[in-house]
Chain A
Amino acid sequence: MTLSSIARKVAMALSGLFLVFFLAQHFTINLTSVFSEEMFNSISHFMGTNPLVQFILQPVLIFGVVFHFVMGFILEIKNNKARTNNYESYKGSENANWMSRNMIFSGLAILSFLVLHFYDFWVPEMNYKYIEVLPDDPNRYYGELVHKFQSPYRVVFYSISFVFLALHLFHGFSSAFQSVGFNNKFMIGVKKFTIAFSFIIPLGFVFIAIFHHLNG
């Protein structure tokens, strides 16, 4: 990559903000499963069959995820090369929080979760629609979701992953605004919103998983 350090930083920020937006949308749809089976099936069927979502937005999303991870690894490698002789004593916790210093580890935890998540939902979906080409069933989505959360191991793994997602969002969301040059009197509000978002969304996902495990 021949991008400048600031260009890389802006690229990370924009792809991250895009993923945050996607996360909010994903959470909203999932939340409907708690309140209404019909509504969840209806929205899922729309998302699963609409050509705009399937052939434009979905590839863009996959590109966004891959780009964010690849760029994250590139940054980590470059940053490690900037100091090859480490300190005997380095008190990183005195001047920066754990989340900001360990984005690569929370990111790797999220990546391992995504592998399972794709295996759980995306791969069977692709198989259903494009490989086995099974008949369209608009009412299958809720049942598939509930079935996945019957395993307590999966619920525990998902819940732990969402803790790492919360930690990643806690630094990443407001940091993205700083990276694109937004740091003014509204930044306090952005940081407060970041704290709320990084707790509510992952906690909500955990709630949905436990809800379906207990009610399935």
Chain B
Amino acid sequence: MNLTLKIWRQSNSESKGKMVEYPISDVSPDMSFLEMMDFLNGRLINKGEEPVAFDHDCREGICGMCSMFINGEAHGPDRLVTTCQLHMRKFKDGETITIEPFRANAFPVIKDLVVDRSSFDRIQQAGGFVSVNTSGNTQDANSIPIEKYDADRAFDAATCIGCGACVASCKNASAMLFVAAKVSQFSLLPQGKIEATDRVRNMVKQMDEEGFGNCTNTGACEVECPKGISLENIARMNREYISTLFKS
């Protein structure tokens, strides 16, 4: 395959970036998107040019590190996959592919396609946990009966890998789907109900402080989420948040 890549280049967080075109030939349709980027970088290094910086880690679709906005969509045109699972056979020979970083003011660009998603970490730290007594008297989690319906919903929410595709896709750069998944994964289980009020209150407060936009229910996040996190989670978080208004 012969392609033209239009890639966002930005040398650091302070500098002004721009789109740069790179013609690339002999791309195999069996390459993953990241392998194609490695292929490009190899050629750039051989020519003495600066390689394109991009986030990656597991390359198995479970770590949530890869974060490219490809041809106008987070993680590219395929559904329910991360960029590392996207293959070049999804593109046409001769196509121009636009590659940009996830854009949101709460995800500032560090370099090229690498963005700082530590705002998600801070939201997690604000309440995305269950406090457990570790003095030796901890109850075995398996001894607490949980209905299958709730267990399945909690598991579905817990599959969120925190990649930020929801924020990148949302026209408002809203982080509601991510926060809702993290709130839901705990609030559906008895262990998480104890801190449910503080959790949703603190996580939403932190989300707002980070500068994410408001949710307007376009549903773009659900469509682009590589793990298929449902909008039902946002409704659940809204319910939980409304209920906190009636609690001290």
- A residues engaging B (CB < 8 A)? 4-10, 75, 78-79, 81-92, 94-97, 100-101, 103, 171, 175, 178-184
Contact = CB atoms under 8 A, between A and B. Distances in A.
A171 B220 CA distance: 13
Contacts of B218: 95-97, 100-101
Contacts of A92: 171, 220
A63 to B, nearest CB: 21
Contacts of B73: 91, 94-95
A91 B224 CA distance: 11
Of B105, B211, B217, B241, which is in contact with the most chain A CB atoms at under 10 Å from its CB?
Answer: B217
A157 B229 CA distance: 42
A172 to B, nearest CB: 9
Interface stretch (B50-58, B130-138, B201-209): B201-209
Contacts of A182: 235
Contact of A181 (B173, B211, B235): B235
B86 interface: no
Interface of B: 6, 8, 19, 69, 71-73, 77, 98, 100, 103-106, 169, 171-174, 176, 204-205, 207-208, 211-220, 223-224, 231-232, 234-242, 245
A44 to B, nearest CB: 36
A12 B63 CA distance: 36
Given A6-B241, A181-B236, A182-B235, A78 B214 contact: yes
Nearest to B107: A83
Contacts of A6: 204, 237-238, 241-242
B98 A89 contact: yes
B172 A86 contact: no
A5 B204 contact: yes
Contacts of B231: 178, 183
B105 A180 contact: no
Q: Which 10 A-B pairs have the closest CB atoms?
A: A181-B239, A82-B213, A183-B235, A91-B72, A95-B223, A79-B172, A96-B218, A82-B173, A89-B72, A100-B218
B214 A5 contact: yes
Chain B contact residues: over half helix, strand or loop, or mixed? Answer: mixed
8 contacts: A7-B245, A82-B174, A82-B213, A87-B103, A88-B19, A89-B71, A100-B217, A101-B171
B6 A83 contact: no
B212 to A, nearest CB: 6
A100 to B, nearest CB: 4
Given A4-B204, A79-B173, A178-B231, 4 more contacts: A5-B208, A94-B77, A96-B218, A96-B223
A171 B234 CA distance: 17
Nearest to A82: B213
A171 B217 contact: yes
Given A85-B103, A89-B100, A103 B214 contact: no
Contacts of A78: 213-214
A95 B216 contact: no
B82 to A, nearest CB: 16
A87 B105 contact: no
Contacts of A75: 214, 216
Contacts of A180: 238-239, 242
Contacts of B176: 5
Given A87-B103, A88-B8, A96 B171 contact: yes
